[in-house]
Amino acid sequence: MLERSLEFFRPHHLELRKRIIRIFLTIIAATAACYAFAEKIAAFFIAPLLQASPFVHKLVYTNLPEAFISYLKLSLIVGLVVSFPIILYQIWIFISPGLKSNEKKAAILIVFWASLLFTSGAAFAYFIVIPRMLLYFMSYANPNLEPLPQFGTYLTFMARTVMAFGLAFQIPFLMVMAGKTGLVNSTSFVKKRFYFYCGIVVIAFLLAAGDLMATALLSGPLFLLYEAGIFLSSLFGKKAGSDLEIRPQ
């Protein structure tokens, strides 16, 4: 019996292994390619800081391997983003044979909207939120107080903020999905607004690593996204014909 089960799952196991190996090789190749342009990529992320204050002309590093490790981490993060479409394609190739036609269409829509919202959140962070945050942080600099931002710490701050906003922009999408599955409807979101708002503040605080200014700048857009999620879930919930409250556990 065990041998039959192993024989049944063996083709799927081999296919999964092949897809994982291709994903792994894709990430390595993308990371290596990004590392070749690491200085230009880093300059792109450093530009908002240099524009935020006339007192900042360059970044510093205090540990000998810091620059190398920072470039490597940056290349890995950008490499993951660049290889994301190929990763999704490999996952799709593995799961698509077991999906029905309507499930395939739903999966494509989910991937499209999730990717679009993540990109929008990352762009919103880079072009709108981060420049204002840096202007505030750099406002304390003066001829008697010279800022010396560390290279690795600054890149970590940028990556964390961009990723936080990219993930946060998934809120309306997740709310619509919850409404479509009947788990929660728009009425529940309205009634429980205060509790969700408290949760948003806590999540923003954790994503901002305890920085109050970043928490405030992240919470505002999240509140608006939550309200947009209420509107969209009510809009699509009517089509689904769902008037359910939160299901008891």
Q: What DSSP character marks residue 184?
A: S
Higher pLDDT residue, 104 or 230?
230
In a domain, 191, yes or no: no
> Is 238 inside any structural domain?
no
- The CB-based long-range contact list for 132-135 (8 Å cut-off, 24+ gap) reads 132/217, 133/161, 133/213, 133/214, 133/217, 134/48, 134/49, 134/52, 134/53, 135/52, 135/53
Q: Is position 21 within any domain?
A: yes
Tell me the pLDDT tens digit for each residue of 128-152.
Answer: 888 888 888 888 888 888 899 999 9
pLDDT in tens, 147-200: 999 999 999 888 888 887 887 888 887 787 777 766 677 788 888 889 889 988
Q: Flag whether 138 is in a domain.
A: yes
Confirm whether 197 is domain-assigned.
no
CA 237, CA 11: separation in Å to the nearest integer? 40
Q: Which domain holds residue 128?
A: 2-169
**Total of domains in the chain:** 1
Longest dimension (CA), the chain: 78
pLDDT band at 19 (very low <50, low <70, confident <90, very high): confident
Give the residue with greater pLDDT, 157 vs 101: 157
pTM: 0.73
Asked if residue 249 belongs to a domain, the reply is no
